Structure 1
């Protein structure tokens, strides 16, 4: 009888170490992706020419006639978001988690701004579009989603994940369609948000304690969300790959419209892939029965 508490304590410590290691590895992944993408897409003539090919189709597209989704991301809205996060954390008695969520948003935004100023874009491919690495809008959209998920009870995270992922994908698409950003800018933004989320989740307070508000909810819903994320990521990637192949080799000359579609799909796939990774790292994909 005296061994049971020791075994439970040992299992708890093992789970905690596994959790920290998992999120720490994701932080390391985000940290590595930023310089790698910058070096490959911005510092080489080939990388610049490939990405700039999509910019030739920007004027041919009028899919989005409003930049409302981009204008939503502003300083007042970010401050309001922080207030809401703090309020939810206070109501759930998770002030430390709320503080960590605030760090994810503010640190991601600050890092994106700092990298944008440091990572200059050398004009080695006759590009007329100024430096934009990474995308601040995409960074904040993803960081805001991750921060909100930290303070949201687990049973509500499926719907929050779908809505937040949809908005982040929409923002990434708009920035590419308007010619504000290239695909590498979106990938860099995803990596920065992933880095800070992984860092806070690895070394910050434990988000879920196994209490009533931390129950996973119905497994059928979680299965659906997992399937939607995986299928959406795969479909956008394949559509983007097909558009790229058609744009480069389809008609014998570069079809900038098709290449723009490829850029949009690649940006969407990057956002969806990161959200899917976070969903799985959070253990929301498990189909164990934890219904209330």
Structure 2
């Protein structure tokens, strides 16, 4: 009788399907803005503050304390019409002590609503310290009449200082995704104020440059040693890259075009056969004032890194998939 041998059944090994887990997203480290550690961020603002600190006395020494500097700036004032001299009642008169105090209160309220009271207080320091510094410099930086000018001392411009400092302070408490539109509107107003102070004979170009430097000094100092403005939480994250790139392009193109117009006006004024063309010099002065504002705004925009997106990382420190 033949026995049947049965082969043992072979078991097919079970295939293990790897489970893909979505990396856990965490907010960026507040000490890292996506472009380096905390020292890099604070160093950028410290450099900007130092730049403003150097520009203030340098411009005063060149444009105010020398006969050549005074004559060049006073030639632009020659294009101011007597009917317009000290006659502005629009953007300039908006800037006053009650408006400054109201602005500080609004900034603090916005910061409190976003649970950033420390940032709001720091933004208030930018406004109040800039205004106080501008007022103090007007008393210290005496203008010697060494070029036959009869216009009183005005270094630096208090109106331009407040316009610039207010813009920088508002940006500190504004969520990142809304900053592009806020910056464009604030920059347009600051340029308008700078133009009005010159075209109405309130200030010279050096006064505007000094005002921008004062605002740069204080916003750089506060951002360098003060609280971290963006902690990586909701509201600090960048929006789409398109608006940020548009703002960068607008600032660069506007600065270039304004500078070109100012240089052309200056060349026209100097090459005029009958002497300096005061109307062309006034245009050159207005363009120079606008360029100083645009350069200061662009410097703050780039220092803040608003045109770069801070990466979101997973628990292993690697970039999370988009």
In which range does the TM-score fall when normalised by the shorter chain? over 0.9
1:186 has 2:190 as partner: no
CA contact (8 A) 2:258 2:290 kept: yes
CA contact (8 A) 2:237 2:310 kept: no
**Residues 202-229 of structure 1, C-alpha deviations (whole Å, 9 max, x = no match):** 0000000111100111101111110000
* C-alpha distance 159-61 of structure 1, shift in aligned 2 (>3 A): farther
2:279 equivalent in structure 1: 257
Match of 2:130 among 95, 108, 130: 108
1:73 has 2:95 as partner: yes
1:5 equivalent in structure 2: none
Distance 1:99 1:20 in 2: 18
List gaps (5 residues or longer) in structure 1. Answer: 1-7
Distance 1:57 1:236 in 2: 19
Secondary structure at 1:159's aligned position in 2? helix
> Normalized against structure 2, the TM-score is what?
0.84
Secondary structure at 2:107's aligned position in 1? helix
1:244 equivalent in structure 2: 266
1:59 has 2:77 as partner: no
1:4 equivalent in structure 2: none
Bigger mean CA deviation after superposition, 243-252 or 116-125: 243-252
1:210 has 2:229 as partner: no
**What's the offset of the Cα at 1:91?**
0.6
Distance 1:25 1:266 in 2: 23
Structure 1 runs of 4+ with >3 Å offset: 11-14, 287-290
1:173 has 2:195 as partner: yes
Distance 1:47 1:186 in 2: 15
1:3 equivalent in structure 2: none
CA contact (8 A) 1:49 1:125 kept: yes
C-alpha RMSD of matched pairs (Å): 2.3
1:143 equivalent in structure 2: 165
**Residues 76-105 of structure 1, C-alpha deviations (whole Å, 9 max, x = no match):** 111111111011000100000000000000
Distance 1:261 1:119 in 2: 26
* C-alpha distance 61-208 of structure 1, shift in aligned 2 (>3 A): farther
Distance 1:81 1:23 in 2: 23
CA contact (8 A) 2:62 2:69 kept: yes
CA contact (8 A) 1:218 1:289 kept: no
Distance 1:110 1:60 in 2: 31
**What's the offset of the Cα at 1:256?**
0.0
1:283 has 2:305 as partner: yes
**What's the offset of the Cα at 1:264?**
0.2
> Normalized against structure 1, the TM-score is what?
0.92
**What's the offset of the Cα at 1:283?**
0.5
1:133 has 2:171 as partner: no
Match of 1:195 among 208, 211, 217: 217
Distance 2:88 2:150 in 1: 24
Report how many aligned residue pairs link the two structures. Answer: 284
* C-alpha distance 39-107 of structure 1, shift in aligned 2 (>3 A): same
More helix by share: 1
CA contact (8 A) 1:61 1:177 kept: no
List gaps (5 residues or longer) in structure 2. Answer: 1-27, 313-321
**What's the offset of the Cα at 1:285?**
2.0
Which structure has the larger Rg over C-alpha atoms? 2
2:14 equivalent in structure 1: none
Secondary structure at 2:235's aligned position in 1? helix
* C-alpha distance 67-251 of structure 1, shift in aligned 2 (>3 A): farther
CA contact (8 A) 2:238 2:309 kept: no
Secondary structure at 2:271's aligned position in 1? helix
**Residues 79-136 of structure 1, C-alpha deviations (whole Å, 9 max, x = no match):** 1111110110001000000000000000000000000100000011001101100000
**What's the offset of the Cα at 1:232?**
0.5
**What's the offset of the Cα at 1:66?**
4.8
1:158 has 2:186 as partner: no
**What's the offset of the Cα at 1:160?**
0.4
